[in-house]
Amino acid sequence: MKITLLQLDIAFGNPMANYAAAERAIRRAAAAQPDCLLLPELWTTGYDLTNLEEIADPEGRSVKAFIAALAREYGVNIVAGSVASRRASGITNSMYVFNRHGLPAGEYSKLHLFRLMNEHLYLQPGESKGLFTLDNIPCAGLICYDIRFPEWVRVHTAQGAEVLFVSAQWPLPRLSHWRALLISRAIENQCYVVACNRSGSDPANRFAGHSMIIDPWGEIVCEAGEPEELLSGTIDLQMVRNVRSQIPVFADRRPELYR
């Protein structure tokens, strides 16, 4: 599976500009015929949390239509990062996944809200798992702060996930944490980690970029720098099965004693 990560700068609080930039990037990336595209977190709005009531996408309808059409046009799977989705119960930070036919393949709302950036004041936490399937490959979606919760990640890999797709707006001062946490999640779960961060800055933060793909041994397949970039890498799912058979972590678990 060839995967391209769209490490974009994001216009603060300007969905129209962000849709246009995302469409340009998706069309450019899709021209190389990858199997899957991944976008960053909150790519339609950035962290303009105080204005989400006005600029969040009602029920994610606009993003769903936009991504479905592009996935169908290019015959590419798209893990559409995450967007602010306005629902009757509040606003969620939600990831939408579409397959090559432009059909919904999964949906996940960020479970762990990041208090340091005041997410808990403006967003509602998700209540469901991030499991989905693309091209018959079991996958899971995670959003930014989620990677600091290994017990949550293990819920998905214990149920068969072989690829973890991570969308993020991870700040530059904690770049070392970003890299260490992603590598750790790959090693301990014996899976691929495909992580797309944003680049650029907003009024309060500078973001790290450094999107990357990591294999089940914890080796980096490819890694972006800090600026905007389309980063592509190929993953071999047979490696997941080989690693899991060599070091049988999942067979040797004793979850009855982990409570």
Q: Residues 72-87: what's their mean pLDDT?
A: 98
Residue 147 to residue 205: CA distance in whole angstroms: 20
Q: Residues 28-41: what's their mean pLDDT?
A: 98
Instruction: Say whether pLDDT at 238 is over 90.
Output: yes
Q: Residues 151-178: what's their mean pLDDT?
A: 98
Residues whose CB is less than 8 angstroms from the CB of residue 62 and which lie 6 or more positions away in sequence, other chains included: none
254 confidence band (pLDDT: 50, 70, 90): very high
Q: What is the pLDDT of residue 123?
A: 97
189 confidence band (pLDDT: 50, 70, 90): very high
48 confidence band (pLDDT: 50, 70, 90): very high
Q: What is the pLDDT of residue 259?
A: 83
Q: Supply φ then ψ for residue 221, to 5 degrees.
A: -75, -45
In percent, the amount of the chain with pLDDT more than 90 equals: 99
* Domain count of the fold of the chain: 1
**What is the H or E stretch that residue 96 is in?**
strand 90-98
Let me know: does 215 contact 235? Beta carbons within 8 Å. Answer: yes
Return the active site residues.
41, 110, 144
Average pLDDT, the chain: 97
188 confidence band (pLDDT: 50, 70, 90): very high
Q: What is the pLDDT of residue 129?
A: 97
Which of 206, 205, 191, 180 has the alpha carbon at shortest distance from 236? 191
25 confidence band (pLDDT: 50, 70, 90): very high
131 confidence band (pLDDT: 50, 70, 90): very high
Instruction: Say whether pLDDT at 148 is over 90.
Output: yes
Which of 230, 107, 227 has the alpha carbon at shortest distance from 165? 107
111 confidence band (pLDDT: 50, 70, 90): very high
Q: Which domain holds residue 241?
A: 2-257
Which of 164, 142, 41, 36 has the alpha carbon at shortest distance from 98? 36
In percent, the amount of the chain with pLDDT more than 70 equals: 100
Q: What is the CATH number of the domain that holds 233?
A: 3.60.110.10
Q: What Cα–Cα distance (Å) separates residue 130 from each residue in 63, 94, 97, 113, 155?
A: 18, 10, 10, 15, 10
